[in-house]
Structure 1
Amino acid sequence: MNAHLAASDLLTQTGTISTPKDRRRVVFATVIGTTVEWYDFFIYASAAGLVFGQLFFAPAGAQFATVLAFISVGISFLFRPLGAFLAGHFGDKYGRRVVLMIALIVMGISTALIGLLPSFTSIGIAAPILLVLLRVLQGISAGGEWGGAALMAVEHAPKDRRGLFGAAPQVGVPLGLLLASGSMAIMAVIAPGDAFLEWGWRIPFLFSIVLVFIGYYIRRRVEESPVFLEIAERKEQTQAPVVKLFRKHWLLVIVAALVVAGNNAIGYMTTGGYIQNYSTDPEGPIGFDREPVLFAIAASGVTWFISTWFAGWLSDKINRRRTYVIGWVLQLAGVLALFPLVNTGEIGLLFLGCAFLTVGLGFTYGPQSALYSELFPASVRFSGVSIAYAIGCILGGAFAPTIATLLVQATGTTAAVTAYLVVMTLIGLAATLLLRDRSGIPLGPEHEEEQAASPFLIRKK
């Protein structure tokens, strides 16, 4: 073996995860952990679209109550950067693993407490205030979760399989959507009508405690990232990683955030509860029952899962940038088809529209962990991926359901929503085209100079 083999590659090949069993454990733990996190995050959005307007914001009036419920979804995104800053700081100093464990516990406790909250009719204004405070804790947790999960997966991966390994935290989103929508759909069957409003929606929130115990048990059995172990062994942890990140890589943070924003705005049509609300509104143009819509959304999580994992694999074959460009084209087609299919009033076509949309979403999300990990230098990588992702979620998904609701109320048609989603997709495409593909770049701290070179396609001479 070459005596000069990078320590991070040595760990990956012969140390920390030297066997296929060890690698499977990393992937499995990442998938389970992120699925639990996003399940918790998405059942809030689903409940916001279905019941929170009536339970917590009813005094504002029917239409504005829905807007306030969706605003409460978006508020949590404003606190994601705080979670990302904290997670990035401690993750770059003390390791990825401990941050992931804390994020999982905070998310689970917050979610379970939401399931126990009294409604506005019981405790008045305290109800929406407590709801928003718990949603803020969810946002802080989500801000710290994704970066750590992405790095644990990619930094453990062989160089030529980072896209596939990196797809592990990405599939947590469609699996979380499937689990959240599926659990809500089952409860809508078990507790139909007023029973769902009174207590049925609470059960999926309380079930989060069980999922958190499972996720915690699995995650604590996974070793720390080999790249961080090498950084710690060299005693090269950055004392102020966030300061260094913005001093040297601020433009990269912005461009990387725009890549996420282009995907996130479209994804939150379903994960943010908008399609669920729009298609089940009894005063709206469609007026579906809750159960078939929730099952259709859950089923679209399957196609999202498949396309996300496939895109991660494909990015190892044709590189991240090309995979993303294909994804933006597919996503644009899905955006243009979504509302024409939903507005037919046929539940099968609503599913088809959501499923078609998820194909492009998977292609613009599956390679993201690998893309981000290869963009930022090792010493600030946790901070870089976490903060860029959090900012992108604010620019994209945070208020996408609110914006869509207000556009329909103002224009009386979903055409304006389609135009908004087209613009966001084109922004994501433009940001991707600015970046140079860096598939396979060494990730260890001994290659910091190479990692710090401009990742942009056009470089200053």
Structure 2
Amino acid sequence: MDNAEHRGARLRTASRPDRGALVRAFVASLTGTSLEWYDFAVYSAASALVFGKLFFPSADPLTGTLLAFSTYAVGYVSRPLGGFLFGRLGDVIGRKKVLVATLVLIGTATLLIGLLPTQAAIGPAAPAALVLLRFAQGVGVGGEWGGAVLLTSEYADSHRRGFWASAAQIGPPAGNLMANGVLAALGSLLTDQQFLAWGWRIAFLLSGVLVAFGLWIRVRLEETPVFRAMEASGDRPEAPVREVFTAQPRALVAAVLSRVAPDVLYAMFTVFVLTYATEHLRLPREQALAAVLIGSALQIVLIPLAGALSDRWNRRRMYLGGAVAAGVWPFVFFPMADSGSFGLLVLGVVVALAIHSLLYGPQAAFVAEQFTPRLRYTGSSLAYTLAGVIGGAVAPLLFTALLGSFGSWLPLALYLAGTAVVTLVGVLLGRDPAHDEDEQYAHPAKGAGRSPGRMITEAPGR
């Protein structure tokens, strides 16, 4: 082993985290994001199944669904506000405090949606209040993701960041699984009339219990080692949003573009597929929900597996392969689904969500690695939220409009392929991991005489 390898081995040994703290951070990241995405996914499923009828009644069911998906999009459009607000706070006051605040915000908004009167009861005030609460959900989610990623990745050995950061990535399928599971159970226990009248509310009201559990876990955590070191050195940024845009614009562009295809792919195969199966293919609602449930259950295993594999293989090349598959699979899925076979529908959704896992598992680590540690919460949050606006926010709306205009799946598949090209560009612009940034921050004596602030703000070459 040469001298460089010896130095790398000593750095990794010295920076091994406390295992108990790391596991607690993993559980807190996983449970918190799962609960928040349960809230978000309940809204998404309700948009496809009931909100069009209750809050946007129309003679044309597709028009009602289109209006309901408009409020779904509000939750994405409001995310950048959460990214700006909470991302900045996360780099200034700490990761833990911000994560507690985002959980409270999303849980309260979801609980109130479950209590909201419909348009038949209070008229136009009902959809207006729904939009406002959806906006609050989006603000909370916009500040959640970056902190949840850093909660585990800044506790872990940076050489295993792909696996540990994937805790936050398991949240969406786990939350989606819980949300659709609750809705499917209610749908099977209640008649369509009961489900439409009051049954859907139960899924929203359950949020109060789930969020209380998530808060109990998060308030018991300590701040991450990297932020504690940053705080001790006095190197916290004063204007992190401005610094991200002025000092790391390429990192921001790469991170934003890399997220577009996964967002759109997920919107198609967990949200719009419910509308496509029930209204276009005339399949029972239970079958559409079952396909999403099966795919989401498998993702709980596939996402951390993909994250772990990205630590062993080149993360960028793995991401590129997933983006190519995301662009090709829709051209296979839609002919399978149009056969009307429940088995082929399930297979198509499962493969699509497996491809999504190849992208989503390494995504948290890939996005975080684009930014230096002192700007990482802000940069990651901005990338996450800005990508959501151009990706997931408009996807269900465009899917619905394209299907209504053309009556064919081909424009949908071409749209998905286009987003895959966008993500390929983003990944090619991005950089590979710079593990020494975190290790030097935790161990400033290894910084070859540089000050902590200097070590952090210098971005490695691309």
TM-score, normalised relative to structure 2: 0.92
Where does residue 102 of structure 2 map in the other structure?
103
- Cα distance in 2 between the residues matched to 1:449 and 1:395: 34
- Cα distance in 1 between the residues matched to 2:277 and 2:261: 24
* Structure 1 residue 335: Cα displacement: 2.4
Matched AA of 1:177: N
Where does residue 278 of structure 2 map in the other structure?
280
Instruction: Give deviations 1:27-61, integer Å, cap 9, x for gaps.
Output: 11111111001111111010000010000001474
Where does residue 145 of structure 2 map in the other structure?
146
* Structure 1 residue 228: Cα displacement: 0.4
Where does residue 204 of structure 1 map in the other structure?
203
Question: Residues 287 and 221 (structure 1 numbering): CA distance in 2 closer, same or farther, change over 3 Å?
Answer: same
Where does residue 417 of structure 1 map in the other structure?
412
Question: Structure 1 stretch 54-63 or stretch 342-351: which is displaced more?
Answer: 54-63
Instruction: Give deviations 1:237-291, integer Å, cap 9, x for gaps.
Output: 11111111111122321221010012111111133x211112112xx3x112212
* Structure 1 residue 377: Cα displacement: 1.2
Matches for 1:47-62 after TM superposition, within 5 Å: 47-59=46-58, 61-62=60-61
Matched AA of 1:21: G
Where does residue 187 of structure 1 map in the other structure?
186
Structure 1 residue 375 corresponds to structure 2 residue 370 = yes
- Report % sequence identity: 37
Where does residue 459 of structure 1 map in the other structure?
none
- Cα distance in 2 between the residues matched to 1:206 and 1:145: 21
Matches for 1:423-442 after TM superposition, within 5 Å: 423-438=418-433, 440-442=435-437
Given that residues 87 and 377 in structure 2 are in contact (C-alpha distance below 8 angstroms), is that contact kept between their aligned partners in structure 1?
Answer: yes
Secondary structure of 1:365's aligned partner: helix
- Cα distance in 2 between the residues matched to 1:373 and 1:433: 16
Question: Residues 346 and 402 (structure 1 numbering): CA distance in 2 closer, same or farther, change over 3 Å?
Answer: same
Matches for 1:242-281 after TM superposition, within 5 Å: 242-271=241-270, 273-281=271-279
Secondary structure of 1:260's aligned partner: helix
Given that residues 12 and 156 in structure 1 are in contact (C-alpha distance below 8 angstroms), is that contact kept between their aligned partners in structure 2?
Answer: no
Question: Structure 1 stretch 249-258 or stretch 423-432: which is displaced more?
Answer: 249-258
TM-score, normalised relative to structure 1: 0.92
Where does residue 68 of structure 2 map in the other structure?
69
Where does residue 28 of structure 1 map in the other structure?
27
Secondary structure of 1:364's aligned partner: helix
- Cα distance in 2 between the residues matched to 1:305 and 1:451: 35
Matched AA of 2:426: A
- Cα distance in 2 between the residues matched to 1:148 and 1:448: 23
Given that residues 327 and 418 in structure 2 are in contact (C-alpha distance below 8 angstroms), is that contact kept between their aligned partners in structure 1?
Answer: no
RMSD of equivalent CA atoms? 2.1
Instruction: Give deviations 1:187-227, integer Å, cap 9, x for gaps.
Output: 10111211110111111110011110111111122221110
Question: Residues 237 and 275 (structure 1 numbering): CA distance in 2 closer, same or farther, change over 3 Å?
Answer: same
Given that residues 43 and 180 in structure 1 are in contact (C-alpha distance below 8 angstroms), is that contact kept between their aligned partners in structure 2?
Answer: yes
Question: Residues 291 and 244 (structure 1 numbering): CA distance in 2 closer, same or farther, change over 3 Å?
Answer: same
Q: Which residue of 338, 344, 348 corresponds with 1:349? A: 344
- Unaligned stretches of 5+ in structure 1? 457-461
Secondary structure of 1:344's aligned partner: coil
Instruction: Give deviations 1:353-378, integer Å, cap 9, x for gaps.
Output: 11000111011111112112221012
- Cα distance in 2 between the residues matched to 1:60 and 1:150: 44
Secondary structure of 1:376's aligned partner: coil
* Structure 1 residue 384: Cα displacement: 0.2
- Cα distance in 2 between the residues matched to 1:451 and 1:362: 32
Secondary structure of 2:141's aligned partner: helix
Question: Residues 332 and 393 (structure 1 numbering): CA distance in 2 closer, same or farther, change over 3 Å?
Answer: same
Where does residue 331 of structure 1 map in the other structure?
326
